[in-house]
Amino acid sequence: MIYFDNVYKVYPDGTKALDGVTLSVKQGEFVSIVGHSGAGKTTLVKLILGEDHPTEGSVSFDSVNLRKIKSKDVPKLRRRIGVIFQDFRLLPNKTAYENVAFAMEVAGKTDDEIASDVPHVLELVDLTKKMWNFPRQLSGGELQRVAIARAIVNQPDLIIADEPTGNLDPINTYEIVQILKKINDMGTTVVLTTHNKGVVEALGKRVITMDHGKITRDDSTGKYAL
């Protein structure tokens, strides 16, 4: 599904964000990417999303070279990827239901599809009773669950969870991890970036460790080692 072939990313100020990265992620995998701040995790995510391009090497998504993709085809590609951010990025003046529905509206879904699918995904993340609440009325864990519902409502092939538990307490962190595992069990590929050792070891899934733009470990047994 995702393939990095000897990828380098050097910014104009000379910062080398990625240094010869080669990796692949198969359809249906759950992969955690760990590393200290500045290790290259964020750059990796930007390249997968097509928000940036490598200085050298290639990044492919389902055999499509993201450097060669036409601008008009980028929105179609991104609709196949759901993104969950640390800071939620919800629309403050829309309810939980409306935040999720908006993602479907942007994707061109019909009113009937929205009315059917939004309650279903909110039930999946255990927010049926809070669907008409505004973000200011929700806890941090509930906000992140709305963000997850929004990311999965269009049934993407890939979920990128970028430090999704960074602002949460241990109980909410555990709940978010369980939801991500459930999504993966349904067949969706999940790429998680995190600093949280407990999250990684609770998952027991593949872990890629990065340091100064390089992959230093690729462990299938779910160990966190920096």
Q: How high is the pLDDT of residue 67?
A: 85
Q: How high is the pLDDT of residue 209?
A: 95
- Please report which helix (H) or strand (E) contains residue 172, including its range: helix 170-185
DSSP assigned state of 27: T
DSSP assignment of 93-104, as one string?
A: TS-HHHHHHHHH
Q: What is the spatial distance between Cα 163 and Cα 85, in angstroms, rounded to a whole number?
A: 7
Q: Among 146, 49, 160, 150, which residue's Cα sits nearest to residue 104?
A: 150
Q: How high is the pLDDT of residue 226?
A: 64
Q: What is the spatial distance between Cα 63 and Cα 86, in angstroms, rounded to a whole number?
A: 29
C-alpha triplet 160, 162, 168: angle, nearest 5°: 125
Indicate the SS3 state at residue 151.
Answer: helix
Is 200 within 8 Å of 194 (Cβ atoms)? yes
Q: What global pTM score does this model have?
A: 0.93
The number of beta carbons lying within 10 Å of the beta carbon of residue 63 is 7
Q: What six digits make up the tokens of 103?
A: 């993602």
**Residue reference for tokens 């709305």:** 146
Is 213 within 8 Å of 39 (Cβ atoms)? yes
Alpha helices in 9-139 (DSSP H): 41-49, 74-78, 96-106, 111-124
Q: How high is the pLDDT of residue 222?
A: 78
Per-residue pLDDT of the chain (226 residues; tens, 9 = 90+): 999 999 999 999 999 999 999 999 999 999 999 998 889 999 999 999 888 999 999 999 998 899 888 888 888 888 899 999 989 999 999 999 999 999 999 999 999 999 999 999 999 999 999 999 999 999 999 999 999 999 999 999 999 999 999 889 999 999 999 999 999 999 999 999 998 888 898 898 999 999 999 999 999 987 777 6
Q: How high is the pLDDT of residue 71?
A: 82
